[in-house]
A and B are shown apart, each in its own frame.
Chain A
Amino acid sequence: MAVITLPYKYLERLTRTDKKTILEKVPLIGSDVERIEEDHADVEFFPDRPDLFSPEGVARAMRGYLGIETGLPSYPVKPSGIKFTVDPQLAEIRPILGAAVIRGVKFDDESIQSIMSLQESLHWAVGRGRSKVAIGIHDMDTVRPPFHYIASPRSRGFIPLDFTGKMTMDEILEKHPKGRDYAKIVKDFPLFPLIVDDDDHVLSFPPIINGERTRVTIDTKNILLDTTGTDKRAVSVAVNIICTAMAEAGATIESVEIGGVQTPTLAPAERVVSATECSRILGVDLTPATMSEFLRKMRFGAEPAGADKVKVQVPCYRADIMHDWDLFEDVAIAYGYDKLESHPPKTFTVGKPHPVQASVVLAREAFTGLGYLEVMPFTLTNEDVLYKRMQRPETKGVLHVIHPISIENTVVRTELLPLLLEFLTINRHRELPQRLFTVGDVVLDCRTHQQAAGVSTHPDADLSEAYATTDAVLHELSIDYTVSESADPAFIDGRRGDIMVNGIKVGVFGEIHPAVLLAFELEHSVAAFEFDLRAVPGYPVL
């Protein structure tokens, strides 16, 4: 999520209304006001609306929403006459270039900060951490066009931003903080992307760092924007958002020529949508005229086109409009979620629990009837708890997560019993007897099923208690079982039994082995059992 700083004075000037109105209404276009400070507010916007990641963008949207200025904002672009060449060797490295000239900027500390944080937010939301899009902003009066986007030897040097000495690009990846942060995007390429002017001065080493030479300061009047990346649409969105935000702040935008094409155009996209379909989705009655009005409030150009259709002009900065329904959401926002008629649908349906629940509910009932207390352990655990402490070999089909958060959570549980013993460890200081059970998912070979397990600990817990409890629960669940000698090393030899159904082992019960007790730091004997709920008649085949 992007949290945007909105200085009140600047925002009020741009929006042409007071901050109280803005702060009250800004959540209604889709945001959370995080903090209200003396001179500014921090507001969080959603990642699908990078056009709102600047005070200029927020002001533009709020003017529409509040009815101060509606419809499509216009951003005239005239050619700057400046050209960019693109080295064909970049095709495999970082092929896409977008650029623009922004003239007549008037910076102060706040607006420089604002453009820098817009750049950072775009790197995150549109640029996927600079891999898809990276943006450079330069003081254009320090360099001489035409500009060249080239694939350069890695040994080439220049003075990177915030440094005083010349460094090679290889050194930058190693020593510059930004170089270290983003090295992984380029480090495997034999040549590195580089933007230079006609005198071979370095403007930028995208997506890593700009040159110190073109640093933007409070005195900068004219800006050259470079945007490089791997995705054409994303690069163009980033250019459009920055250019229109700067235009909102009073600058004029000029295009540059890249490969014979003038860019950017800042022209809207067109879409024709149906008012009937919009009404059907939202559950309100809309005519093309009323729908157009709502869309204009959201800064779209919109005109009725016939009995059902609306012709919509989508501003160039609205990257999120991929589908007609994206426009319908804007209609709903303009209409007001609080005004939408909300009632449940009328179709008759019958509720139906999942068949697995029948076994689960009855197992719970049997356990609680026997005085067992339910616990709900985590499903992520580790080999030490599941196997080593239990003296058991690793269960076949156990799944290991590739990047665990900690050594505590490396595998998905294949049994429940070890987790119950862990529970007894946590509750060592609590009054005995303790009788605990759990019913829940275990995973083997990517397949999930339910098991049930119980433990009872007190000085007299023994095989006969484990056997009797197992028998009681299995009987309640109509599991027709037999018992054979078990070899499960978690239990004491001669005090353990395998639960068999139709010749297949479905569970085990017995007295926990003293070595296992000690491994779980337990001092009293434990009668325990676990069985597979798939043995319950009627358990569904999934």
Chain B
Amino acid sequence: MVELTQNEKRLLATLEKEQKADAEHLASVMGATPEAVVQWAHLAGDKGLAGVERIVEKTFVYTDEGKAYLKNGLPETQLLRFVLPGTQLVDLQKHDVFKIGFGQLRKKGLVNVEGTSVTKTPGTSTDADEAALKNPSASDPKTKDLIKRGILQESETVRYVISATPEGLRLAVKGLDLREETGTLTREQIISGAWKTANLRRYDVSKLPKKAYPGKIHPYQRIIGEMREILLEMGFTELYGDIVQQSFWNFDALFQPQDHPAREMQDTFYLKETLPLPEGYEKVKAMHISGGDTSSTGWGGVWKEEKAEQCVLRTHTTSLSIQYLAQHPNPPVKAFAVGRVYRRETIDTTHLAEFEQLEGIVMDENVTFGNLLGILREFYNRMGFESVRFKPSFYPYTEPSLDAEVYVDGIGWIEMGGAGVFREEVTAPLGIKYPVLAWGLGVSRIAMLRLGLKDLRLLHKSDVAFLRETPSLRPTKGGI
């Protein structure tokens, strides 16, 4: 059964007697304002119990000027009374209403002016104009003219006629509980026991009266958090570090040749700041030039200290991993980082100049390329991706290298990230004697898939409505 407020009930009870009435009338009967009655009628109307008819009526009201003319006649009428045979223009000019009245007389052709004398036009009068002034009508062009002259004003009055529907009448006849209703229970009512007899208002629970918005974590942060947790569960130590890195740690220590295209201004954000090279940098230099003590040939050519000292916004979190390895050269090392990285890309819906990268490293006495595949399979499985496959790839600082792909229903195989064994050219100068497995992935790619975003920028310039609407728990299927 529909729940009615006390006021709707009172309205229906009143309508039982009145059947159909103006809101004004009902208001005076019910001791309320007409506005409130109309509002109650609309509420009852939504439930099919009452009808509300909006009637718009046009009326005309006289301006102060109009009121005076109604008493004394229009200026042209007043002036016309003085137009007698032989009347001179100068005589008329003495009258108060001359300016307005004479203009109207000329305009309407009621007088003729010859030289200085003024005569009535035979067979004319202002009778029709006076009639229009007394009984204005929306269809009369003369009324419009009077409105234009500022003598009359048009006004709209809206009135509401309210009636009960047969269903409303049936309810009213059946009898309505008209006792005083209690909305919010007061402390007094609770402790005094008044609640026992109070008529507690019943609410319609089929409709949410008002939305509440909780404070919560960003959906993207939740995805990052999920990945962090998986890696912590898998026994990895978390890294955190500086956004600004020396080229040495961002590139050179990773055996990226100094003339590599990725190092150009076009692809990397450079800063004018420099930092002094770390102790022992010469080993990295030797590796670039000649391969140091390893079986490598090195890149040959020249290696410039100034280039390595330049600061950049880190292009990958590998700059953190490599410094961690330099500080922890003894096995086992298992570490990961999730952090913002920077590429000088033109920003569009799928490319940002800054984005989150997740990266992990494992260094141990007997770890193998096969172990790397195992770690990745485990990680992606835990993220919910059941099918994972690997294919050859290329990264400047890993060898062998691979790309991992996961299968997503409805989309197919999606490239998820790259991985490989750090080249010996990378690890040897740091005094690391065992293989280092390394892998990275773009976090935003998974976020975009999961959150169904078409534009990556929305992760960082979000619509509050999107954040409010995205639930904390998003059931995932097959990783998405």
Q: Which residues of B contact A104 (CB under 8 A)?
A: none
B379's nearest neighbour on chain A, judged by CB, is A344
Is the CB of A357 closer than 8 A to any CB of chain B? yes
The segment from A111-119, A302-310, A348-356 found at the interface with B is: A348-356
Total residue contacts A-B, CB cutoff 8 A: 253
**Inter-subunit contact B368/A380 (CB<8 Å):** no
Closest-CB distance, B350 to chain A (whole angstroms): 15
Is the CB of B423 closer than 8 A to any CB of chain A? yes
**Inter-subunit contact B364/A345 (CB<8 Å):** yes
* Given the contacts A345-B374, A402-B265, A402-B271, A377 and B460 also touching, CB distance less than 8 Å: yes
Residues 361-381 of A, flagged 1 when their CB comes within 8 A of B and 0 if not, give 000100111111111111110
**Inter-subunit contact A368/B234 (CB<8 Å):** no
**Inter-subunit contact A349/B334 (CB<8 Å):** yes
**Inter-subunit contact B213/A373 (CB<8 Å):** yes
**Inter-subunit contact A281/B244 (CB<8 Å):** no
The segment from A6-14, A85-93, A442-450, A523-531 found at the interface with B is: A442-450
B225's nearest neighbour on chain A, judged by CB, is A361
B294's nearest neighbour on chain A, judged by CB, is A323
Residues 132-154 of A, flagged 1 when their CB comes within 8 A of B and 0 if not, give 10000000000000000000000
**Inter-subunit contact B221/A280 (CB<8 Å):** no
A351's nearest neighbour on chain B, judged by CB, is B232
**Inter-subunit contact A443/B244 (CB<8 Å):** yes
Is the CB of B214 closer than 8 A to any CB of chain A? yes
Chain A interfacial residues counted at CB < 8 A: 86
Is the CB of B446 closer than 8 A to any CB of chain A? no
Which of B215, B239, B295 makes the CB contact (< 8 A) with A371?
A: B215
The segment from A183-191, A208-216, A246-254, A423-431 found at the interface with B is: A423-431
Q: Which residues of B contact A233 (CB under 8 A)?
A: 300
Q: Which residues of A contact B118 (CB under 8 A)?
A: none
Q: Which residues of B contact A400 (CB under 8 A)?
A: 271-272
Is the CB of A180 closer than 8 A to any CB of chain B? no
Is the CB of B353 closer than 8 A to any CB of chain A? yes
Which of B215, B238, B377 makes the CB contact (< 8 A) with A342?
A: B377
**Inter-subunit contact B332/A356 (CB<8 Å):** no
Q: Which residues of A contact B57 (CB under 8 A)?
A: none
**Inter-subunit contact B243/A283 (CB<8 Å):** no
In the complex, A404→B265 CA distance in Å? 10
Residues 275-290 of A, flagged 1 when their CB comes within 8 A of B and 0 if not, give 0000011111000000
Which of B353, B371, B435 makes the CB contact (< 8 A) with A380?
A: B353
Q: 3 closest pairs, A vs B, by CB? A: A283-B368, A283-B370, A342-B373
Q: Which residues of A contact B (CB under 8 A)?
A: 27-30, 46-49, 128, 132, 231-233, 271, 273, 280-284, 322-326, 328-329, 332-333, 337-338, 340-345, 347-354, 356-357, 364, 367-380, 399-406, 409, 412, 423, 426-427, 430, 434-437, 441, 443, 446-448, 542
- 18 example contacts (A-B, Cβ-Cβ < 8 A) are as follows A29-B392, A271-B295, A283-B371, A322-B299, A332-B392, A333-B392, A340-B390, A342-B371, A342-B373, A347-B364, A349-B235, A368-B216, A374-B221, A376-B459, A400-B272, A402-B272, A403-B265, A405-B347
Q: Which residues of B contact A (CB under 8 A)?
A: 213-218, 220-221, 228, 231-244, 259, 261, 265-266, 269-273, 275, 291, 294-301, 311, 313, 331-332, 334, 340, 342, 344-347, 352-354, 362, 364, 366-371, 373-378, 389-394, 396, 399-402, 421, 423-425, 435, 459-465, 467-468
